[in-house]
Amino acid sequence: MERNTFADFRFNKQILNAIDEAGYTTPTPIQQKAIPPILAGQDVMGVAQTGTGKTAAFVLPILMKLNYAQGNDARALILSPTRELAMQIEEHIRLFSKYTDLRAVVLYGGLGPKTQIAQLEKGVDIIVATPGRFLDLYLAGHLITKSLKTLVLDEADKMMDMGFISKLHRILEVVPRKRQNMLFSATMSDLVHKIAGDFLAFPTVVEVSEQATPAQTITQALYYVPNLKTKINLLQHLLKDDATLHRLIVFCKTKAVADNIFSFLERKYGAEHIRVIHANKGQNTRINSINAFKDGDVRILVATDVAARGLDVSNVSHVINFDVPIVIEDYVHRIGRTGRAFQTGDAITFCNPAEEYYIHKIEKLIRQQLPVSEIPEGVFVEKTGFDERQAIAREIDAQKRKDNPEFQGAFHEKKAANQRVNRPQRNHKRPGGGGSKSKPGRKKR
């Protein structure tokens, strides 16, 4: 049955008013497919790319089922891999439960638990938590799980990447066996399948597109760039178009690169227009930077993959992958920061020779070739310095070794090639009298 409005799901008036005020008009495909089985109490496994309205797909039916505040202990638990995503989910809950008395508490590490414990003691209906902090507070006796009726694992693939599998199994041991389960993931790796098998009972599988395909509203472009300095020149050239690139995220693979790019852009455009977030930045700094970016006070956010998931900012015009992600699934999550909820967006990737290996893997994952763009005429292509050339060569060697353990490296390959070229010349004199030069020498003795 086609559901073209949220009223078709038979949500109560309080939730429908909140949806209407939030400016949501048409349910997205994941919402159309996931909400009915969740409302019917079924276990659900959702495979949905980021930016498709997945959070609302499980938050809305949970609010409808809980209906009103009851007792002191949580009846729904939503687990998230990162604090940013946990806060994002809690924000959705607050938005949609505006006209209800339902109480939500978000639990995450990185700051003292005192405030979180105090909130729990006031009574709670929904807990949104990272696995580590949830277990810490449970083991310290601040959480009672016997009232839990619903358990959600969001971004299950990221949970597996971050090594949460043992913590998840521990949580599954301490929550009631009789409960409704939901698991959402952008990709379905073997580990996600494993946890899904432990966690879900005969689930309804909801898939809104092929696994790990970027949203169709995103235009992708790939630039082959020889080195770091040329990447910076290209970034600078693209940023001149400030009318088109009005709100963008620049993704870097390490904290050091992110800090360097931030410093360069800060000098160029002024501190008020740029922010940087990565794991070394304090919790409050990260929250303030994300909020400034959301509010439109900041044009450019430089980030590592810590911000790739759960960063729900509308109207991000562009994502620039300054570095190609090594965890290839992160490509889908990074570019999913743009083109969200029926909006269009652009994703641009810079690729040096050592990163081509990962581009091939990404293309295989997303089942499409990235369109290649020529470096614009105004961009100066720098010569690759000796140190960077060596680092790129070492990286390519390491990739070849990963695919073929018998590969001995470019130096050995070069040596072997030289030997192959030279061997016929040495052998040429041997037939018939190949050893004639040395033999007479021995006779002279």
Note the pLDDT of residue 238: 93
114, HSE (Cβ side, Cα atoms, 13 Å): 1
Note the pLDDT of residue 440: 45
Report pLDDT digits (tens) over 372-394: 999 999 999 999 999 999 999 99
Q: Return all residues near 216 (Cβ < 8 A) that are at least 6 apart.
A: 209
Is the predicted pLDDT of residue 416 greater than 60, yes or no? no
pLDDT top residue among 430 and 310: 310
The values of phi and psi at residue 198, to 5°, are -75, -20
Where do we find the tokens 């299950």?
156
Residue 213: count other Cβ atoms within 10 Å of its Cβ: 15
Q: Return all residues near 124 (Cβ < 8 A) that are at least 6 apart.
A: 72, 73, 74, 103, 104, 105
| Nearest Cα residue to 101 out of 75, 63, 131 | 63
Report pLDDT digits (tens) over 154-174: 988 888 878 888 999 999 999
Mean pLDDT, residues 123-145 taken together? 95
Is the predicted pLDDT of residue 110 greater than 60, yes or no? yes
Q: Which pLDDT band holds residue 413 (cuts at 50, 70, 90)?
A: low
Q: Alpha-carbon distance 300 to 281, whole Å? A: 17
Note the pLDDT of residue 207: 83
Burial status of residue 361 (CB atoms within 10 A of its CB: 0-12, 13-18, 19 or more)? middle
Amino acid at 45: M
Note the pLDDT of residue 285: 82
Note the pLDDT of residue 51: 65
Beta bridge partners of 206: 46
Share of the chain above pLDDT 70, in %: 85
Q: Return all residues near 440 (Cβ < 8 A) that are at least 6 apart.
A: none
Note the pLDDT of residue 356: 95
Beta bridge partners of 300: 248, 274
Could you say which of 3.40.50.300, 3.40.50.720, 3.40.640.10, 3.30.420.40 is the CATH number of the domain covering 6-207? Answer: 3.40.50.300
Note the pLDDT of residue 407: 76
Is the predicted pLDDT of residue 445 greater than 50, yes or no? no
pLDDT top residue among 327 and 225: 225
pLDDT top residue among 445 and 36: 36
Note the pLDDT of residue 214: 65
Is the predicted pLDDT of residue 3 greater than 80, yes or no? no
Note the pLDDT of residue 368: 87
Residue 193: count other Cβ atoms within 10 Å of its Cβ: 13
Q: Is 208 helix (H, G, I), strand (E, B) or coil?
A: coil
Q: What is the DSSP letter of 372?
A: B
CATH number of 218-384+395-400: 3.40.50.300
Note the pLDDT of residue 358: 92
Note the pLDDT of residue 260: 93
pTM above 0.85, yes or no: no
Write out the two tokens for 24. 């949501």
Same fold, 6-207 and 218-384+395-400: yes
Mean pLDDT, residues 242-267 taken together? 89
234, HSE (Cβ side, Cα atoms, 13 Å): 26
Residue-range domain boundaries for the chain: 6-207, 218-384+395-400
Is the predicted pLDDT of residue 412 greater than 60, yes or no? no
Is the predicted pLDDT of residue 431 greater than 70, yes or no? no
Q: Alpha-carbon distance 285 to 290, whole Å? A: 9
Report pLDDT digits (tens) over 73-104: 999 999 999 888 898 899 999 999 999 999 99
Note the pLDDT of residue 159: 86
Report pLDDT digits (tens) over 292-343: 888 888 899 999 876 555 566 767 889 999 999 887 778 887 888 787 656 7
Is the predicted pLDDT of residue 427 greater than 70, yes or no? no
Q: Return all residues near 218 (Cβ < 8 A) that are at least 6 apart.
A: 335, 336, 338, 339, 344, 345, 346, 347
Is the predicted pLDDT of residue 417 greater than 60, yes or no? no
Pair 126, 93: CB distance under 8 Å = yes
Note the pLDDT of residue 439: 41
Mean pLDDT, residues 59-82 taken together? 94
Mean pLDDT, residues 238-253 taken together? 87
Q: Which pLDDT band holds residue 425 (cuts at 50, 70, 90)?
A: very low
